[in-house]
Structure 1
């Protein structure tokens, strides 16, 4: 005898919300890092500023990649939640016919 399908939608929603919050916090952290980089760039002058600009460009590239990956992760988590519900409904409907 097989076990019944049982999904805790409240738990799934809770986990999705928590992951989205972590994503939001990570984005806020990224914005804080960008602000810090801008402030530091204003404090540097001369050759130090030129070298620092290269580092800031690299940092911005990495932060942009980070944000893009974070956005894709968030989209995948929301899609997984939606697919879980759709699969459950589809499987439940199989028993009605």
Structure 2
């Protein structure tokens, strides 16, 4: 899964522990869910951290939804659920790895 380098402009909020936004480990960095976007710090600015492609999360028997016990994060036009250090999104009867 690759990530495009798209700078998020006009971002005056500094993300970090205790900033109030969900932190999600993503490979070698941490993404912060903020206003339906995922941001990562990069060289003094924030990038939109969005995966490209479609990666299905296999062997996922848990059904996410209200009161499932996992943090729900608005992500664009859908909701991701943070589960075991991954972001899952429902898609066509399965969950995608975001």
**Per residue, is there more strand in 1 or in 2?**
2
Normalization by structure 2: what TM-score?
0.17
Normalization by structure 1: what TM-score?
0.18
**Per residue, is there more helix in 1 or in 2?**
1
Query: With CA pairs under 8 Å and 6+ residues apart, which has the higher RCO, 1 or 2?
Result: 1
